[in-house]
Amino acid sequence: MRCSYDLEGAALYSIRWYRAETEFYRYVPRELPPTMVFPLPGASVDLAQSDHHQVRIVNLNRRLSGDYQCEVSADAPLFHTDIRSAPLTVVDPPFRAPLLTVPQRNFARGDVIKANCSIAEKVSWHPAELDFKERGAFSQLHLTVLETEHYKVGLSYTSSNLDAVYMITPPESGQFTLGCVATIHDIYARQSEVLLEVSVWL
């Protein structure tokens, strides 16, 4: 985490970092050593990568999600102090790609595709976002998500049901790929795909 500031020519007296109003890192340039670390259950501070502008926390526990504050104080004679806060979310991303289930693999024009995509592993406190994708010969496949469920009992489970109605332009038969992409912020993105086929039934 980084804390940017401008003291407008004044000397720095101290930088203090807090999590939920509990101090866990302090930098005072006049002291030797200038850094001081306080207990932060569920994580530890990497002193080699921490200084008067940033603090690096390693081995984070997901229970440490919340607001973090940086407090900057100027030196004498004014000792002006300002504090700013920002949220931090810690997640345990799933180990596997989402599970995409399509009971039927062969379709005629106008058929309805029913599919289910879910994160089967209950390993994340933060629910994943699920999005259905289509690529192939059919440019007018309309994807309508019927229902998305999030369960939060300690850990989270995400499931999304798809109702896709065919509005197919030529070619009238062929294969296409239906995919489901699961994302959690910008730290996890996995995709599962199934190959489906559309035939002309005379």
Does 194 lie in the same domain as 109?
yes
Burial 43-69 (b: 16+ CB within 10 A, else e): bebeeeebebebbebeeeeeebbeebb
Q: What is the mean pLDDT of each run of 10 residues along the chain (202 residues)?
A: 90 94 93 92 90 92 88 89 91 78 78 75 60 62 54 49 50 71 81 80 48
| pLDDT, position 46 | 92
| pLDDT, position 27 | 95
Q: Answer yes or no: is 168 within a domain.
A: yes
Last residue of a domain, one of 35, 67, 88: 88
Question: CA–CA separation, 142 vs 18, rounded Å?
Answer: 49
Q: Find the CATH number of the domain harbouring 147.
A: 2.60.40.10
Reported pTM: 0.63
Does 107 lie in the same domain as 84?
no
Last residue of a domain, one of 54, 88, 122: 88
Number of domains in the chain: 2
| pLDDT, position 33 | 92
Domain membership of residue 136 as a residue range: 99-199
Q: Which helix (H) or strand (E) holds 13?
A: strand 12-19
| pLDDT, position 154 | 43
Last residue of a domain, one of 88, 120, 145: 88
